[in-house]
Amino acid sequence: MSTKLATALIRWRVAQPRQDEVLDDIEEVYALDIERVGKGRAQLLYWGHALNIALFGIGKPDDEPAYETANPIDMYRNYLKVALRTIHRQKAYTLINVLGLAVGLACVLLILEYVQFEQSYDNVADAERIYRVQNNYIRNNILIYESAATFSGVAPAMKAAFPEVEATTRFYHAGAIFNTVVSNEASAEPQHFREPHLIFGDEGLFDLFAINLVEGDAATALDAVNTMVLSAATAQRYFGKSNPIGQTLRVTDENGNNHLCTVTGVFADQPMNRHVAIELIVSYPTLHTRPEGARRYEENWGGYAFYTYVRLAKGTDPRWVEQQMYGVLDQYKPGYKEVNAAGERIRQNHFTLVPLGNIHLTSHLQNEAGVNGNATLVSFLLLIAAFTLIIAWVNYINLSTARALERAKEVGLRKVLGSRRGQLVRQFLLEATVLHVIAVGCGLLLVWMVRPAFLVWAGIPAGTAFWNDVQIWTGLLAFTTLGAVLAGLYPAFVLSGFRPATVLKGSFRHSARGQWLRKSLVTFQFALSIALIIGTVAVYAQLAFMQNRDLGFDVEQTVILEKPGNLGSTRAAYRERMGAFKQSVRNLAAVRQVAASSVVPSQGIHRGIVVTRQPNSPLSEAHSIEIVSTDYDFLEAYGMTMLAGRGFSEAAGDTSVFILNASAATMLGFASPEVAVGETVYLYGQEPRRVVGVMADYHHESLQRAPDPMLFNLYPSVDAFLSIKLSTQDLPGALAQLEALYQEAFPGNPFRYTFLDDRFNAQYTADQRFGERFRFFAMLAIFIACLGLSGLTAFATQQRAKEIGIRKVCGASVGRVLVLLASDILKLVLVAATVAFPIAYISLDGWLNTYAFRIALTPMLFLMPLVGVIALALLTMSFQSLRAALSNPIVALRQE
Amino acid sequence: MYVGEFEELVLLAICGIDEAYAVPIHQRIVHKAGRSATLGGVYRALSRLEQKGFVRSRMGEITHTQGGKRKRLYEVTGTGLAAVRAMRTARDRLWEGLDLGGVGTVNV
């Protein structure tokens, strides 16, 4: 019987450290037994020993400790020492790694802070039970509008109809809709400020919006007519240090409304993460003092201009409330019960309850109370942060394995001295941890340096609770350990797997599989960078396209003035002054033309007006259209093109006339613009208007939309907006003149102007921001990719030192060698491009399709970034490649 | 702590050997004491004795036999010695006055 099996059995059942010892003993006994009783019996005895040992095992868990536990503390001290020495010796490589990780981490932290802020909007008490009540309007199964604000009657109706509605509040955002000026007439120097954040509201606001009244009584502050409360900052602005309570302010607007209000309270300034910014609240009953006040502002179910919020009792389903609203609507709007021939309702309002916390990121209706954020952008940024980090870690793995050669001798020696694989793995994991700790330190330093600028850029206030959040710090800890483990594991295993013999002999060659992994990692990095750069170029191209495209009207050199908010004495007197002002402006040499209108291009389209071809048509044949009221000069001043007919003319005695745009003409069913001229359409289905002309479509809003049907209504005394076309390049001079005239004509009003092109381009701010951020991260990605590439090149040239030496000896020129090295990298980049192109194409195509007017995705868009990336890659590796190509072949080929 | 029967034999064997490792211990027990024992049993006993603290082990010098491996050498601790003496005292006291034959010296 052979003893080999028995040996194996023993090996199996004896703990590793005791195996040799035990087997020695067994063999010694075996030898003695052979002498004593002969081979046959000795073998039997051998088996006996083996089985006996196998029965209970030696050194197995329930037995003695498996091996002498070496002192771990000493070993770790050694590992640390070696790690620090390695860092010191390989400064460049460490720098690259740490930089990459630090940058990635800094990115992630800043993005997280931004994301957390965006997601923290409106986090008041019980926010999950607070909803904004919105409604839309559908006629003949066509959605006419979707509005963030609803009718004034909704709040009281809901309170009455539903016991489940705990509390309601509604406000009228006067400051946003009309030019509202507030004046402090009692101060030594007259103070007039335009107040875009002035609302008319009720005390429900203190409750639902967590507005804390620091002075004044919340229960009564907004009860009486002509009272108001101010934010602390506003109170400071008007009254400085003196007590605002009891003082008066005059609230006027461009419609001639005029309220002298007493201050009854001061509330703490609202934090920035609220979807609507509120600085002054005038008591809601004040609206009743306006002409037809009660009808328009209280029980009104026609005008949708009132932001309404409700808090539901626990457990109430908002969807149920929405359903019930149909019943409530029937009560108050019996006219909507009318059905058409098919038995469907002709006109409907659907009410939607939107949770308060969702408004900021997901609601983008026409008449939002403030500028809302973008949930897509938020998730997109998170994605980018993750990518940056992944690239940094990929780099680390790449560089570590590439640098393995340097450590090979150390590893070999350690193994010879008795190091076990697990110990080696632990050593390299520790090194990874040390690097990560340093990287975290640098990352935090980076964040600390960059953060102020970042906050400004992102529009976040400085005092966010982000850094106080324990989760962030535990997250950082998790990052360090997780990163160290993940990123360090592969190199650790590769390094600890070296065979000491091969390594110490000096003939160590890196495995083919390792090469492949490294190459694919670099390719992945480049693919990502290429895709990001293509994206950046495309975003900018689209933006430039939108901003430079002919809008169909003259947008340059146009100053827009809004109607003054403080009209002074009487309506008639105001009209006179407005007329005089217009004339005096016209007379300025710097001014080419002055025109007035109800809206200017770049303002939102509401399509709230109904026109029909026949008088008293059924509603099913009515069309919704956007109306712009203008004076005689508007179309000419804006240089709009007429397709048929003519513009408004005073000489022709135009009175009740319209001009349609081409889309409107088509919508109303006219075969061609010429056919429409002279026809009559009916405003609101009743009032006849004659069409005197049809104009070409122009872009009233950003190019994200196709032009809407519009009609221009002649209203010579319209004065909501004055468009002043300048004929001079001296803008400051012209503005100074305008201001002088303005102050003379409308004292008590701050002079505020905008330029039309600025207004128009402001529509693109969101897109611009998007482009900026995209670009930033593309730069970042390629920076890190280049870091990785440079590290890799260093390794490659080192590996190929002998090869290069031989080539040079055989006569290769420096250029030839460079080409050789470069072609390797080039191959990688090209492969990366083939991966990146389809992904970039598909994503960009999808994004561009959200725009009504978009650029085409040309090959140039893809090739240019590729060329750029290739150039960058070549540049990155040039230094090392050049050095290798110029090196003395003797140095490389010398035997050590 | 008490010593088991076999463990006592192992302890005594160790005392009689200069460089005591598993094989000579086993040999001594088998040949001198005349008791059958397995190598495995010896190992287990040694392990238990070490756990109880009656025996300590150290890795010896590199031997000059083939392979040059180091052996685990055992020696009896003070506690072990005390335990073995206590056993002997206990046994002798019980043996006193008995006339059962067998090999052995009656202790005085």
Considering chain A, what percentage of its residues have pLDDT values greater than 70?
93
For A668, phi and psi rounded to 5 degrees?
A: -80, 0
Tell me if A52 and B40 make a contact (CB, 8 A cut-off): yes
State which residues of chain B have pLDDT below 50: 107-108
Q: A342-346 long-range CB contacts below 8 Å, 24 or more apart? A: A344/A141, A346/A139, A346/A140, A346/A619, A346/A620
Least Cα separation, residue B85 to chain A (angstroms)? 26
Tell me if A53 and B40 make a contact (CB, 8 A cut-off): yes
User: What distance in Å separates the CA atoms of residue A268 and residue A408, rounded to the nearest whole number?
Assistant: 66
pLDDT score for A264: 92
Note which residues in 30-69 of chain A have CB less than 8 A from chain B.
32, 48-49, 52-53, 55-56, 58-59, 63-64
Least Cα separation, residue B60 to chain A (angstroms)? 11
Q: Name A73's Cβ contacts closer than 8 Å, sequence gap at least 6.
A: none
User: What distance in Å separates the CA atoms of residue B41 and residue B54, rounded to the nearest whole number?
Assistant: 17
Contacts A48 to B, Cβ<8 Å: 38
Cβ–Cβ contact B60 with A under 8 A: no
Cβ–Cβ contact B69 with A under 8 A: yes
Least Cα separation, residue A433 to chain B (angstroms)? 36
Least Cα separation, residue A76 to chain B (angstroms)? 25
Tell me if B23 and A49 make a contact (CB, 8 A cut-off): no
Cβ–Cβ contact A22 with B under 8 A: yes
Cβ distance A147 to A305 under 8 Å?
no
pLDDT score for A607: 66
In terms of residues, how long is chain B?
108
∠A287-A292-A296 over CA atoms, to 5°? 65
Cβ–Cβ contact B50 with A under 8 A: yes
pLDDT score for B107: 47
∠A401-A406-A409 over CA atoms, to 5°? 115
Buried b or exposed e, range A536-561, using 16+ CB within 10 angstroms: bbbbebbbeebbeeebbbbbebbbbb
Nearest C-alpha neighbor of A406 from the set A99, A75, A93, A805: A93
Which of A49, A55, A64 lies nearest to residue B50, judging by beta carbons? A64
Q: Name A96's Cβ contacts closer than 8 Å, sequence gap at least 6.
A: A395, A399, A787, A788, A790, A791
User: What distance in Å separates the CA atoms of residue A496 and residue A492, rounded to the nearest whole number?
Assistant: 6
Two structure tokens written together for A402: 């590439």
Two structure tokens written together for B3: 């010593």
Least Cα separation, residue B50 to chain A (angstroms)? 9
Cβ distance A113 to A457 under 8 Å?
no
Beta strands in A152-226 (DSSP E): 165-172, 180-184, 191-194, 198-201, 213-215
Cβ–Cβ contact A10 with B under 8 A: no
Two structure tokens written together for A648: 């408004």
The chain A residue lying nearest B49, using CA atoms, is A64
DSSP annotation of B33: I
The chain B residue lying nearest A55, using CA atoms, is B40
Ramachandran region of residue A639, left (φ > 0), alpha (ψ -120 to 50) or beta? Answer: left
Cβ–Cβ contact B26 with A under 8 A: yes
3-state class percentages of chain A: helix first, strand second, coil last, to nearest 5: 55, 15, 30
Q: What is the rounded radius of gyration, in angstroms, for the C-alpha atoms of chain B?
A: 15
Q: For A823-880, what is each residue's pLDDT tens digit?
A: 888 888 899 999 989 988 888 888 888 777 888 888 888 888 888 888 888 888 787 7
Q: B38, B43, B44, B59: which to substitute to probe chain A, counting the most A Cβ within 10 Å? A: B43
pLDDT per 10-residue tile (average), chain A, 896 residues: 78 80 85 88 87 74 49 79 87 83 85 82 87 87 82 89 90 86 84 89 90 88 91 90 89 86 91 88 90 81 87 91 88 81 82 89 78 74 79 78 73 80 81 87 89 78 70 81 79 72 58 68 82 83 80 83 76 81 86 86 72 72 80 85 84 81 85 84 79 86 78 83 86 87 84 84 75 77 78 73 81 81 85 90 84 83 86 81 77 68
CB neighbours of residue A27 within 10 Å: 16
Least Cα separation, residue B14 to chain A (angstroms)? 16
What angle do helix axes A512-548 and A859-886 make, rounded to 10 degrees?
Answer: 140
DSSP letter string over A13-37? HB-HHHHHHHHHHHHHHHHHHHHHH
Contacts B49 to A, Cβ<8 Å: none
Q: How many CB pairs under 8 A join A and B?
A: 48
User: What distance in Å separates the CA atoms of residue B41 and residue A279, rounded to the nearest whole number?
Assistant: 90
Cβ–Cβ contact B54 with A under 8 A: no
User: What distance in Å separates the CA atoms of residue A745 and residue A770, rounded to the nearest whole number?
Assistant: 42
Least Cα separation, residue B100 to chain A (angstroms)? 34
What angle do helix axes A421-458 and A91-119 make, rounded to 10 degrees?
Answer: 50
User: What distance in Å separates the CA atoms of residue A819 and residue A775, rounded to the nearest whole number?
Assistant: 31
Q: B39, B51, B71, B72: which to substitute to probe chain A, counting the most A Cβ within 10 Å? A: B39
What angle do helix axes A814-848 and A765-799 make, rounded to 10 degrees?
Answer: 150
pLDDT score for A283: 92
Q: For A230-281, what is each residue's pLDDT tens digit?
A: 999 999 999 888 888 989 999 988 787 889 999 999 999 888 888 988 999 9
Cβ distance A424 to A492 under 8 Å?
yes
For A679, phi and psi rounded to 5 degrees?
A: -75, 165
Cβ distance A835 to A862 under 8 Å?
no
Tell me if B23 and A28 make a contact (CB, 8 A cut-off): yes
Three-state SS annotation for A565-616: CCCCCCHHHHHHHHHHHHHHHHHCCCEEEEEEECCCCCCCCCCCEEEECCCC
Which of B26, B47, B71 lies nearest to residue A29, judging by beta carbons? B26
Tell me if A64 and B47 make a contact (CB, 8 A cut-off): yes
Torsion sign, CA atoms A45, A49, A50, A56: positive
Which of B39, B44, B70 lies nearest to residue A25, judging by beta carbons? B39
Ramachandran region of residue A323, left (φ > 0), alpha (ψ -120 to 50) or beta? Answer: alpha
The chain A residue lying nearest B73, using CA atoms, is A21
The chain A residue lying nearest B39, using CA atoms, is A49
Q: A27, A33, A58: which to substitute to probe chain B, counting the most B Cβ within 10 Å? A: A58
Q: Find the DSSP H helices in A651-750.
A: 662-667, 673-676, 731-745
